């Protein structure tokens, strides 16, 4: 927060300060798709990633890659693209041979630049939600709309159309959240200025945005095949912390003598629900809070700072509790119900894409599509105990309802 800004912040104009865009929210606006020509050794491999992994050649190609100097990368856009590319190369390198053929060490020609770019951005040296989704999109027709038919990921992993769908549907949920982020800022502005009319409108805007996110989430069913997600895609999002397949972590050669542990990519690292939880004053259990707060370390620092600012703002919940305005009570409760419903529908998706897909994969001939990772049976790619965690988070959301 800037000096003299305390009374006013955060306001819509403050979005830029957190590298948040009015149009794109937490998404990186129109991400770069190419690095300067001297980085073609990275880009050439990145563009062939699915084929190199399928033919088991990726590790050999990475061993031959020159160690490039990151000093020539200019500005945040290039750094974000470099992080995206190097994180995908790293996931491919580690998981190319499945959970039984992992590596202990990331070679220096990948580890050193990845570390440097990560330091420059304040991101961990592993694939994050910010890489996988927020920075990983382009329009096919540059003047066309931000809709699934006109979008494609910049960099891919194995999984074909289902991988594309998984990335882009998640992106559409982030897009649907944008009016909700604006409504959050508006709600805090209204609280600071004791403007209950504006607060009421902001809460209505927030519940509508959460409803739109829920609708966007349902498109997962149309675009992502559960068997492909479970047996092919999931392992490439896994990390080397809380993962029995890599109990000792990963040694980043040329960076540290000791292996390091990082959680895998998960939408638990999306800043959207963290923002809404903070605004609505949702109290999660100690264990769930610890996990969710750890996931904040995997967000771009400006987004983390934004969530922190929301958490430090005057309490919406206290204001509603002390207000006699029943319209406000109702609008607040609509937000809570919409958020709990979103989380229930997300649990249904997780059940379909993990639990049901797992039992089907077990019935089918082993290895017919791919061998699903056993270490990930009960754990999320972020490392949580999936259903205990997700249900606790959904139930504590419901407990946020205010009685009349």
Residues that bind ligand HEM (CB under 6 A): 169-170, 173, 217, 220, 224, 229, 266-268, 270, 273, 343, 346, 349-350, 353-354, 380-384, 386, 389-390, 393
Nearer to ligand HEM, 191 or 212 (CB): 212
Minimum distance of ligand HEM from residue 354's CB (angstroms): 5
Nearer to ligand HEM, 87 or 170 (CB): 170
Nearer to ligand HEM, 123 or 237 (CB): 237
Minimum distance of ligand HEM from residue 226's CB (angstroms): 8
Nearer to ligand HEM, 85 or 169 (CB): 169
Q: Name the token pair of 161.
A: 């159309």
Nearer to ligand HEM, 93 or 166 (CB): 166
Nearer to ligand HEM, 162 or 333 (CB): 162
Minimum distance of ligand HEM from residue 253's CB (angstroms): 27
Nearer to ligand HEM, 206 or 390 (CB): 390
Q: Name the token pair of 379.
A: 């754990």
Q: Name the token pair of 367.
A: 């290895």
Minimum distance of ligand HEM from residue 234's CB (angstroms): 8
Separation CA 30–CA 25 (nearest Å): 12
Separation CA 177–CA 168 (nearest Å): 14
Contact 339/397 with Cβ under 8 angstroms?
A: yes
Minimum distance of ligand HEM from residue 183's CB (angstroms): 17
Minimum distance of ligand HEM from residue 43's CB (angstroms): 27
200 is in an annotated binding site: no
Residues linked to residue 251 through DSSP beta bridges, in sequence order: 105
User: Nearest-5° angle of CA 87, CA 92, CA 97?
Assistant: 150
Nearer to ligand HEM, 115 or 166 (CB): 166
Minimum distance of ligand HEM from residue 280's CB (angstroms): 12
Q: Which residue number is nearest to ligand HEM in terms of Cβ?
A: 380
Minimum distance of ligand HEM from residue 274's CB (angstroms): 8
**Which amino acids are annotated as binding site for heme b, given as ranges?**
346
**Which amino acids are annotated as binding site, given as ranges?**
346
């Amino acid at each position: 927060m800037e000096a003299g800004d305390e009374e006013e912040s955060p306001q819509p104009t403050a979005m830029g300060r957190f590298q948040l865009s009015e149009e794109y929210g937490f998404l990186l606006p129109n991400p770069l798709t190419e690095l300067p020509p001297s980085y073609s050794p990275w880009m050439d491999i990145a563009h062939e990633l699915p084929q190199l992994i399928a033919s088991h050649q990726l590790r050999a190609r990475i061993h031959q890659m020159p160690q490039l100097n990151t000093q020539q990368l200019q500005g945040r856009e290039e750094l974000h693209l470099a992080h995206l590319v190097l994180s995908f190369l790293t996931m491919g390198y580690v998981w190319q041979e499945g959970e039984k053929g992992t590596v202990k060490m990331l070679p220096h020609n990948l580890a050193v630049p990845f570390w440097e770019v990560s330091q420059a951005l304040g991101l961990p040296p592993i694939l994050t939600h910010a890489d996988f989704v927020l920075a990983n999109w382009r329009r096919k027709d540059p003047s066309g709309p931000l809709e699934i038919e006109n979008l494609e990921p910049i960099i891919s992993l194995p999984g074909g159309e289902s991988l594309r769908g998984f990335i882009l549907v998640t992106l559409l949920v982030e897009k649907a959240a944008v009016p909700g982020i604006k409504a959050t800022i508006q709600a805090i502005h209204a609280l600071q200025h004791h403007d209950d009319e504006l607060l009421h409108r902001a809460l209505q805007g927030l519940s509508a945005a959460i409803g739109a996110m829920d609708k966007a989430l349902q498109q997962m069913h149309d675009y992502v095949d559960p068997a492909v997600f479970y047996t092919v895609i999931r392992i490439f999002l896994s990390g080397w912390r809380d993962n029995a397949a890599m109990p000792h972590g990963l040694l980043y050669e040329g960076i540290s003598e000791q292996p390091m542990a990082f959680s895998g990519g998960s939408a638990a690292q999306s800043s959207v629900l963290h923002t809404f939880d903070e605004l609505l004053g949702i109290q999660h259990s100690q264990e769930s809070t610890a996990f969710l707060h750890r996931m904040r370390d995997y967000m771009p620092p400006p987004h983390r700072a934004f969530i922190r600012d929301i958490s430090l703002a005057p309490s919406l919940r206290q204001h509603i509790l002390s207000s006699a305005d029943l319209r406000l009570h109702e609008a607040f409760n609509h937000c809570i119900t919409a958020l709990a419903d979103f989380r229930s529908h997300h649990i249904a998706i997780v059940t379909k894409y993990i639990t049901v897909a797992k039992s089907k994969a077990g019935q089918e001939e082993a290895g017919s599509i791919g061998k699903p990772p056993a270490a990930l049976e009960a754990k999320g790619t972020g490392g949580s105990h999936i259903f205990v965690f997700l249900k606790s988070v959904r139930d504590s959301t419901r407990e946020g309802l205010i009685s009349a």
